[in-house]
Amino acid sequence: MTGTYDIKWLLYVIIPFLLTAIILVVLHFTVKKETTKENWIKIFGFLTLISHISVYYYKYIVLKQPANDAGVSTFFPIYPCNVAMMLFPIVYLFNGKTRTFLIEFLAYYGVYGGVITMFEPSSFYSGGDILYWPTFKSFLSHSLLLLTSLYCFTSGTVKIGIRNIVSFVGGILLIFLPTGLIMNYILLKAGYDPNAMYLRYLPLEGVPLLNPYIISFLMALVVLLFITVWDRFKKPEEERWYVILKNKFADWQVKYKQLNSK
């Protein structure tokens, strides 16, 4: 294999996935307190963010390059993964429903972002020295994002249920979309040519069907499918979301007939 998908890329995909699985299994059997689980999510979140912004210090201190050479996405939420990396460390500053909403949204998106970027790293790796820090940190930060997100599920922090789809769609509409619009506006005014949240240019040039709206719809569809399968195999029949919806619909039909019969 040559180019992006060479043996170095393959090893980097395999090794982090194995390490992630081992860490998740160990934590599952050793960590029981909710406060400790929260602390691990905070630690993983901070490590993700630190690895993401570390390229700035590497280029400025080690390579002696200008401070602005690290790339605008290092400190600004340009891409969806940037947003997730910046929000995960601070989710526990929020309380109640806001925290639940953020964690559910970030957990699902973090899995998407981590997996997709690991398997399609051409934006930052096209062969060469994979240990070159600006390249390696991109692999590392997305691996840590994936670990953080998966631990939200395996720790039981995210309670898998139909409410999750509301959080996921809500996050796209209330976080990603406004962030993209605002960042594109600000950076355009500042003289940059941004593509925040891929709202200005396609993620893959020449593939119009893979636009952010269709991708978001497909992501939401997969989340719904996952929740449905989970309900089917992990919950009693009467607690499955589609059974509850079916029963409510039957009740509405009965009430509607009763009202019409009067």
Q: Output the DSSP codes for 166-229.
A: HHHHHHIIIIIHHHHHHHHHHHHHTT----GGGSSS-SSTT-TTS-HHHHHHHHHHHHHHHHHH
Per-residue pLDDT at 57: 78
> Do the beta carbons of residue 22 and residue 145 sit within 8 Å?
no
The model's pLDDT over 231-259, given as tens digits with 9 standing for 90+, comes to 999 999 999 999 999 999 998 988 888 78
User: Do 139 and 24 reside in the same domain of the chain?
Assistant: yes
Whether residue 2 is predicted with pLDDT greater than 80 in this model: the reply is no
> Do the beta carbons of residue 124 and residue 135 sit within 8 Å?
yes
Q: How many domains does the chain have?
A: 2
The model's pLDDT over 107-136, given as tens digits with 9 standing for 90+, comes to 999 999 999 988 888 777 777 788 888 888
Q: Which residues contact 54 (CB under 8 A, 6 or more apart)?
A: 133, 137
Domain around 236: 161-262
User: Do 77 and 195 reside in the same domain of the chain?
Assistant: no
Tokens at 107, concatenated = 């957990």
Per-residue pLDDT at 1: 46
pTM: 0.91
User: Do 33 and 100 reside in the same domain of the chain?
Assistant: yes
Cβ-count burial of 229 within 10 angstroms (0-12 exposed, 13-18 middle, 19+ buried)? exposed
